Chain A
Amino acid sequence: MAHGSRRVAALGVLSACALAASTFVNARADVGPLFVDATEQSGLRFTHDNGATGQYYMPEMMGSGVALFDYDNDGDLDVYLVQGASIDGGRPATGNRLFRNDGVVNGVPHFTDVTDRAGVGMKGVGMGVAVGDVDNDGWLDMYVTAFGSNVLYRNRGDGSFEDVTPRARVDDPRWTSSAAFLDYDRDGDQDLFLANYVAFTKDTNKVCTDHAGARDYCPPGAYAPVPARLLRNDGGLAFSDVTAASGIERAFGAGLGVAVGDLNGDGWPDVYVANDATPNQLWINRRDGTFEDDGVISGTAFNALGRPEGSMGIALGDADNDGDEDLFVTNIVGESHVLYLNDGTGNFEDARIKSRVGPATSDMTGFGTGWIDYDNDGRLDLFLTNGAVNILEGQRGQAVPYRQRSQLLHNEGNGQFRDVSSKAGPFFERLLVGRGVAIGDLDNDGDVDIVVTTNNGPAFVLLNSTIAPGHGAGAERHWSELDVRGRDGKDPITGARVGVKRQGQGTLWRRARTDGSYLSASDGRVHVGLGKQPRIDQIVIQWPDGSTESFTGIEADTIVTVRRGTGRSGADAP
């Protein structure tokens, strides 16, 4: 498929033929696992090399991430995978990889490695990736983080990227983990937030042991945390470091996860930072170019005992369909992961016990995660991948004593979540050192798929099979996928808040985002499960600049491009 070609027609409200479910030969069981491991069939061949040297250098255990994004604007999601390397250069680095989605064959998307052509094969101790359109040219760019120098790849729009890091002044030679694009000043361009981890260097490597005295990876407290950074986009591919001016430098921890959302409901983007074993930050946007850390007062810095937890991956989304964004954060074994419920004003409650998320995850060390309405019932479920950072007692003596299972938690709709991993498919029985997670509709069939990375192991493509004909979980469930774009129909709008209004039912609020999870970037399109009712009365969009617009005539069970300026401004907007 030629670069830049689109499957959609350019009308006021655009729609795409996306009912692939009715046309492809179903290679998967009609009734069977919720997710099918389609890695082999898809051609996505990638194995992470953590560069382990036997010296237990911390970066070996922490990578790496994955991005799902449409780099060639052909309407489907491509995959970028971050590679590791030996810190001491003992093994040749193989570099990050970009896989182009060449479309669905026999129900499975097929990927081709186009890294060399694209020029994005950065070699180093890679960590994560963030996706955004930094120059508003309608082509998605990437910011790749590393232990060491980071890289901003600008998408040229012709299948290739250029490294504009020095020109943009966006490098950070320290240990950057997750990054996120956001328009914090609402001036129409994408700024950049970097989470930095700890001040580890090869020369300061410490000897740490586990509880039994065996050599193991050091905890984050062995090194000083490194401040986060906020880089303001000044246009023309130039950024300014506004870390001090914005107040971001006033608080920091060992940053691993970053997510952006409007957490106090004032229409401005806020930033949540998950810090490893240090208090998390909730940076509330004061709407004047500065931020205030409300982590402690909001109840999201600590657990219910007032203590910091592991805090690696983040999922931001409306867990209880009350219109605000709730926080799910993954922690380490013995802590349990946590669901912080938002009261709408930026005050949160640690609801891990009453939501049953806590008991389901107490044995796990979690990393990448995301909200995913896997069965299109209109309620956000949770996917998370787990993998320890210290020797697991039961695996002591084994070659890789850090392996755990991934989990799928179903939102029961009564404030509780149920672990359905045992029904989700054979992948969920595998013991892996899970790290990155990116979520998106890889085959454009209306249900949401997942790509998982593992430390020193393969990446996995998990295709959602709930929408397959006859599958019980997704039977008679409807959906909508909205590709939110700017006025010219090209610029993807990250940060827009999307409300799906249906008569007699509450509005489902979602956000166009690529950030969150761990070291990863997900599909920026907005997926909404509609349950059994396919009718959509209205779509309301709150644009990042605060204005609102509503759209009608949107059909369910289609992927629709919604273009700013083609709806009704302000009217019926909340």
Chain B
Amino acid sequence: MRFRLVALAVLVLAGPPRLLAQSLPHLALDSLPEDSRRAIGVAYQDAVGHPNDAARVGRLAMTLHAWEQFDTAAQVYARARQLEQRFDWYYLGGQVESRLAHHEAAGRLFIEAVRLAPGSLPARVAVADALFEAGDTEGAAREYSKLTNGPTAPHAQYGLGRYLEARGEHLQALSHLQTAVTLYPEFGAAWYTLGMAQRNLGRIDEAKQSLAKAQEYGARWPSVDDPLMARVRALRDDAAAHVDRGLALQRQGDVKGALGEYETALKMNPHLAVAHVNSIALFGQQKDWVNAEAHYNSLVQTGPVPAEAHFNYAMCLAAQGKNADAESTFRKAVETNPQYAGAWSALGRLAELNGRVQEAETDYRKAGEFAPNDPLVRLNIARMLIARQQYREAIAQLEPIANADHPERARVLFGLSTAYVLAGDVASGRQYAVEARDVAKDRGQNELAAAIERDLEKLPK
């Protein structure tokens, strides 16, 4: 009797049985392709086998996150949070909700993450951003105000500028936004908001310059070191992930790194056309013709060959002076894609080099059909027109793009100058030549600037 009473007391003191965490979502693994099925499947089986193990459940969530299965990742992170009140599950759960544009939910998770790890800069920045996107701009401003020093400074200044701009306080917004782009000159979004603020103040010319910078820098953003997100990204190791990393490295100018990633990708999937196409281009840049050709031949053997592959390889051939082979390869590019403006342009250039001027003009005009705003295309057409003494038509080609900011601007202006002078309007020709020379000098195109200067000296006063 006494034993039974003690046992009963122990049971009462132990409380009710521990509630099981909610079930893991069912994953339709069979509907996934092999790479993702394998990666996710391993993590899934592990989590299913240990449903109350937060680390295993969390790893499943991170794997889903890496493969951008955000809806399911969100559910699994929620399960992980039930099992363990850990910063990782709150912060990463918030990241996933942000990707789903569920900003209110993301904000709540980030706030809790910061409570668990007050020193986490990525989490503190994420709180501010989520509050802003959810419409709590006052709350966002308070958070941004705490982050105006150190590595988060550009982001915080941008956030404060955005907050003031949203309130219609355009002048006050300006100083924060200008600080943001001073701290991080390639901050595309900050340039954009700065442009909008300047526009709203009636400073249209400044606004246009800022907006041009925004378009130039695009999605570049001042990053804060985020080791947890790096761990998520590292969980994905398929061919596509290597290609993505290769593209990112290529954009940063790391040719060797990019080629390494493409090589890894091709070992996993030898038929990955994009990796071959990009490898041809990068090996060509390095004048490694052997490897460029090897990648091209791989595609030819396995087929079909994308137009871009023909184009890139043709560029390699042209760089080696093998113009006849280059021409036939460019032709393959336009046969594959008749609207490939770059290939038509290249054919025009080769025809011109061979003295086939009429054919060159036809090819340039073909390029112009599909890329009417490409300055180089217009310049080439204009040169053909000037050669045929159709100066007014050449002017009509170039004037619409004379003021646009692009790498060929000096040549375009010089082309206009030439056309005007030959058409008999020396004054306009001189004006354009002076502008062309100045633009060329500003851009370090010294040979071009010198050539323009020599022509200027020949013009009648």
B336 touches A297 (CB 8 A): no
Known: A214-B33, A306-B214. A353 touches B400 (CB 8 A): no
Interface residues of B in 315-364 (CB under 8 A from A): 336-341
Binds B, one of A143-151, A202-210, A421-429, A472-480: A202-210
12 contacts between A and B (CB under 8 A): A199-B370, A207-B273, A211-B67, A224-B341, A244-B372, A251-B373, A297-B204, A299-B196, A306-B211, A306-B214, A354-B135, A393-B69
Going nearest first, the 10 A-B pairs with the smallest beta carbon separation are A306-B192, A397-B31, A362-B101, A211-B68, A199-B339, A212-B36, A213-B33, A306-B214, A397-B28, A305-B189
B72 within 8 Å of A (CB atoms): yes
C-alpha spacing A297/B211, complex, angstroms: 7
* Interface of A, helix, strand, loop or mixed by DSSP: loop
**Which residue in chain B gives the minimum CB-CB distance to A392?**
B71
Known: A306-B214, A359-B135. 19 other contacts (CB 8 A): A201-B337, A206-B273, A206-B306, A212-B68, A224-B341, A224-B371, A247-B400, A249-B373, A296-B195, A297-B199, A297-B204, A299-B196, A299-B199, A305-B189, A305-B192, A307-B219, A393-B69, A396-B31, A397-B28
Contacts of B28 in A (CB 8 A): 396-397
A264 and B1 alpha carbons, distance in the complex (Å): 92
* Chain B interface size, under 10 / 10 to 19 / 20 to 34 / 35 or more: 35 or more
Give the distance in Å from the alpha carbon of A209 to the alpha carbon of B373 in the complex. Answer: 31
Q: A227 an interface residue at 8 Å Cβ cutoff?
A: yes
- Digitize A305-347: 1 where CB-to-B-CB distance is under 8 Å, 0 elsewhere: 1110000000000000000000000000011100000000001
Taking CB atoms, residues of chain A closer than 8 Å to B398 are none
**Nearest CB on B from A145, distance (A):** 18
Cross-chain contact of A296 among B102, B211, B336, B337 (Cβ < 8 A): B211
With a cutoff of 8 Å between Cβ atoms, the chain A residues found around residue B35 in the complex are 213
Q: Which of A217-241 contact B (CB under 8 A)?
A: 224, 226-227
Interface code B119-140, partner A: CB below 8 Å = 1, 0 otherwise?
0000000000000111100000
Tell yes or no: B240 within 8 A of A by CB: yes
Within 8 Å CB of A207, what residues of B? 273
Q: Does A304 contact B (CB under 8 A)?
A: yes
Greatest chain B CB density within 10 A among A203, A304, A306, A393 is at A306
Inter-chain contact count A-B, CB under 8 Å?
Answer: 128
Question: Chain A residue with minimal CB distance to B102?
Answer: A362
Q: A203-B336, A224-B370 are in contact. Are A393 and B70 (CB under 8 A)?
A: yes
Determine if A214 and B199 form an interchain contact, defined as CB atoms under 8 angstroms apart: no
Residues of B within 8 A of A334 (CB): 99-101
Smallest CB–CB gap between B34 and chain A, Å? Answer: 8
Least CB distance from A205 to B in Å reads 9
Q: Which of A227, A306, A363, A396 makes the CB contact (< 8 A) with B100?
A: A363
A204: chain B residues within 8 A (beta carbon): 306-307, 336-337
Q: A287 at interface (Cβ–Cβ under 8 A)? A: no
List the interface of chain A (C-beta within 8 A of B).
199, 201, 203-204, 206-207, 209, 211-215, 224, 226-227, 244, 247, 249-252, 279, 296-297, 299, 302, 304-307, 334-336, 347, 353-354, 356, 358-359, 362-363, 393-394, 396-397
CB distance from A403 to the nearest CB of B (A): 15
- The winner among B70, B133, B188 for most chain A CB atoms within 10 A is B133
Q: Which residues of chain A come closer than 8 Å to B110, judged between CB atoms?
A: none
* Bound CA span A296–B204, Å: 12
Q: Which residues of A contact B383 (CB under 8 A)?
A: none
CB-based contact A209/B102 at 8 Å: no
Which parts of B1-52 form the interface with A (CB within 8 Å)? 28, 30-36
Give the residue of A203, A206, A224, A396 whose beta carbon is less than 8 angstroms from that of B32: A396
Q: Which B residues fall within an 8 A CB radius of A?
A: 28, 30-36, 67-72, 99-104, 132-135, 162, 166, 188-189, 191-193, 195-196, 199-200, 204, 207-208, 211, 214-215, 218-219, 238, 240, 273, 306-307, 336-341, 370-373, 400
Question: Smallest distance from the beta carbon of B246 to chain A beta carbons, Å?
Answer: 16
Closest B residue by C-beta to A205: B304
Give every chain A residue within 8 A of B32 (Cβ-Cβ).
212-214, 396
How far is B213's CA from A296's CA once the two chains are assembled, in angstroms? 12
A213 and B31 within 8 A (CB): no
| Bound CA span A226–B28, Å | 39
Known: A249-B372, A297-B199, A359-B103. A306 touches B31 (CB 8 A): no
Question: Chain B CB within 10 Å — which of A203, A211, A213, A307 has the most?
Answer: A213
- A204 and B104 CA atoms in complex are apart in Å by 42
Chain A, residue nearest B40 (CB): A212
Instruction: Give min CB distance, B433 to chain A, whole Å.
Output: 24
Closest residue on chain B to residue A203 by CB atoms: B336
Q: With A297-B207, A394-B71 given, is the CB distance from A353 to B135 under 8 Å?
A: yes
Residues of B within 8 A of A213 (CB): 32-36, 238, 240
Closest CB of chain A to B327's CB: distance in Å?
21
Complex alpha-carbon distance, A204 and B69, angstroms = 29
Nearest A residue to B168 via CB reads: A349
CB distance from B330 to the nearest CB of A (A): 16
Contacts of A252 in B (CB 8 A): 373
Q: Given A306-B214, A347-B200: A358 and B101 within 8 A (CB)? A: yes
Chain A residue nearest to B68 in the complex (CB): A211
- Other-chain residue from A201, A296, A353 in contact with B215 (beta carbon distance below 8 A): A296
Check B208 against A297 for contact (C-beta < 8 Å). Answer: yes
